[in-house]
């Protein structure tokens, strides 16, 4: 007896339960990928699998749709594996224990994998149904989305004939995503020289900030403690004669740092001035951030007199100049979509090492040329100061299309079915659609999905009624796509 038996749409939940039984954390897609290949072979459908375990299943147009241009449906096979502390699940060999809770399907103590198992189940259900009306279909199942969009990046898209694509990896019903940001990591490295010093030693923290995701939270303009430490040190430098020791803040390029610390040395007669200035900066940051960062503070600890290691005056001056002049946060808002950040960057990591001081940024833009300009600025200032600039992990953006017949069709179908306008949205983070629109010239793409709560956590829940509505909606759109 299947746990989800009786839920509608039947085929969708049947396949959802099938794939839930297959372990499919990112990087472990072998079995679920094979399942899709077998599925296609059993039904005589054309199937392609690449070495990254991406799968493409093609189904011919239904009667009367032979002349309609093809449609691509897309979702990812992998899921985030998170569990409660007391849960003993071994994700590498065990499937998910699904259960029903009111209008929701959820899992026992783990993530559900509704992200993006619901897309996989919908695509399999569509491919398995010969009664439906649709143009030629290419269903694309990708891998390692959650760890870096690697499957989509590696996929040879030249096999795909369609130029209209519905991605099923959005989590809010009634919201159509039509654009996302591209990005990269930029590492700025300044060579440094260390020397011995003697004096009163302090540790100073810029602390208590909330942080957040450097893409989806950047519009809230969270305080970046690395940048604020840079500013604090520059302010100090105007009145206090101090030497700068080890400085560090942040752990990931794509998270806004919440705390940054620096070690300082001053001569005894400078102590009072230093402490006074630090208290002043504490008041300044508390005032500037009183609305969105109520816990913000500058604090310090005095360790007493002694010897220690500090940056040479020249190394410290260059680092302070860099920290004070690099751009950070929102660079430009979208002129086309209200409330969308178009271009931004985040100084996620700051650290002083043996031979270099390193600043690690995540840069993002939904406009390729603005992303390039941002990288160029970071490179210019780094090289001007004698440092080395490196860029890696580039992923492409998905630019908003003024003209999108697919979007228009989907909006009109949605209005007809539900009597209201869907919301059209762009996001300031990466999506697989970025890779597809980069690879397929002229791709017209929209991302949708049913209501999914608590993604990436053991609280993940998929709405049953929303799954039914979104599935019916997609079927209706396919039916409408008879024309170009």
Q: Which residue has the tokens 């410290």?
A: 316
Binding piece for Zn ion, criterion CB under 5 A, among 39-47, 111-119, 210-218, 357-365:
111-119
82 binds Zn ion (CB under 5 A): no
d(CA 225, CA 232): 10
- Minimum CB distance to Zn ion, residue 243 (Å): 48
Sign of CA dihedral 156, 161, 165, 169: negative
- Minimum CB distance to Zn ion smaller for 115 or for 185: 115
Out of 169, 207, 253, 270, the residue judged to bind Zn ion by CB under 5 A: 169
- Minimum CB distance to Zn ion smaller for 76 or for 277: 76
Q: Are 191 and 386 in contact (CB under 8 A)?
A: yes
115 binds Zn ion (CB under 5 A): yes
Binding piece for Zn ion, criterion CB under 5 A, among 82-90, 115-123, 147-155, 396-404:
115-123
116 binds Zn ion (CB under 5 A): yes
CB count within 10 Å of CB 377 equals 17
**Residue in 18, 29, 82, 145 annotated catalytic:** 145
- Minimum CB distance to Zn ion, residue 145 (Å): 6
- Minimum CB distance to Zn ion, residue 219 (Å): 21
29 binds Zn ion (CB under 5 A): no
Q: Hey, which residues does 212 pair with through a beta bridge? A: 256
Q: Are 270 and 286 in contact (CB under 8 A)?
A: no
The SS3 of residue 417 is: helix
18 binds Zn ion (CB under 5 A): no
d(CA 32, CA 235): 57
Return the closest-CA partner of residue 142 out of 125, 162, 156: 156
Q: Are 397 and 182 in contact (CB under 8 A)?
A: yes
- Minimum CB distance to Zn ion smaller for 29 or for 207: 29
207 binds Zn ion (CB under 5 A): no
Q: How many residues bind Zn ion (CB under 5 A)?
A: 3
- Minimum CB distance to Zn ion, residue 116 (Å): 4
d(CA 177, CA 152): 18
Active-site residue, 145 included: yes
- Minimum CB distance to Zn ion smaller for 151 or for 245: 151
Active-site residue, 103 included: no
Secondary structure, 3-state, 334-374: CCCCCCCEEEEEEEEEEEECCCEEEEEEEEEECCHHHHHHH
Region 409-448 residues binding Zn ion, contact defined as CB under 5 A = none
Which residues here bind Zn ion, judged by CB under 5 A?
A: 115-116, 169
Active site members: 78, 145
């Amino acid at each position: 007896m299947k746990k989800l038996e009786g839920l509608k749409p039947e085929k969708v939940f049947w396949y959802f339960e099938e794939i839930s039984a297959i372990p499919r954390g990112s990087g472990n897609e072998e079995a679920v990928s094979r399942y899709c290949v077998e599925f296609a072979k059993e039904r005589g459908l054309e199937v392609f699998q690449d070495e990254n375990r991406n799968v493409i299943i093609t189904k011919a147009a239904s009667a009367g749709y032979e002349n309609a241009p093809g449609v691509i449906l897309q979702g990812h096979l992998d899921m985030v594996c998170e569990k409660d502390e007391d849960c003993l699940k071994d994700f590498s060999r065990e499937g998910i224990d699904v259960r029903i809770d009111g209008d929701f399907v959820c899992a026992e103590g783990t993530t559900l994998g509704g992200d993006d198992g619901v897309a996989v189940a919908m695509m399999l259900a569509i491919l398995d149904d010969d009664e439906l009306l649709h143009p030629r279909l290419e269903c694309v199942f990708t891998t390692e989305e959650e760890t870096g969009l690697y499957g989509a990046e590696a996929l040879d898209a030249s096999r795909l004939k369609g130029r209209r694509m519905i991605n099923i990896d959005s989590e809010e019903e009634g919201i159509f995503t039509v654009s996302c940001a591209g990005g990269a990591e930029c590492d700025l490295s300044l060579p440094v020289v260390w020397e011995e010093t003697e004096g009163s030693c302090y540790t100073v923290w810029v602390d208590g900030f909330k942080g957040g995701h450097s893409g989806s939270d950047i519009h809230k303009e969270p305080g970046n403690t690395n940048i604020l430490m840079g500013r604090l040190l520059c302010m100090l430098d105007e009145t206090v004669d101090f030497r700068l020791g080890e400085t560090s803040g942040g752990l990931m390029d794509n998270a806004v740092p919440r705390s940054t610390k620096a070690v300082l040395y001053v001569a005894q007669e400078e102590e009072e001035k230093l402490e006074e200035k630090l208290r002043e900066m504490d008041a300044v940051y508390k005032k500037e951030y009183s609305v969105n960062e109520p816990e913000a503070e500058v604090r310090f600890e005095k360790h007493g007199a002694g010897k220690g290691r500090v940056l040479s005056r020249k190394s410290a001056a260059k680092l302070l100049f860099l920290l004070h002049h690099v751009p950070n946060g929102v660079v430009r808002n979208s002129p086309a979509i209200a409330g969308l950040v178009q271009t931004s960057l985040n100084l996620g990591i700051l650290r002083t090492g043996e031979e270099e001081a390193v600043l690690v940024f995540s840069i993002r833009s939904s406009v390729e040329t603005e992303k390039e300009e941002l990288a160029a600025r970071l490179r210019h200032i780094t090289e001007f100061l004698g440092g080395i600039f490196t860029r890696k992990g580039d992923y492409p953006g998905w630019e908003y299309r003024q003209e999108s017949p697919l979007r228009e069709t989907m909006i009109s179908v949605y209005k007809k079915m539900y009597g209201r306008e869907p919301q059209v949205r762009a996001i300031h983070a990466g999506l697989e659609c970025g890779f597809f629109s980069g690879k397929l010239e002229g791709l017209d793409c929209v991302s949708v999905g049913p209501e999914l709560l608590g993604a990436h956590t053991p609280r993940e829940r998929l709405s049953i009624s929303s799954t039914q509505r979104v599935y019916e909606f997609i079927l209706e759109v396919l039916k409408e796509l008879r024309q170009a």
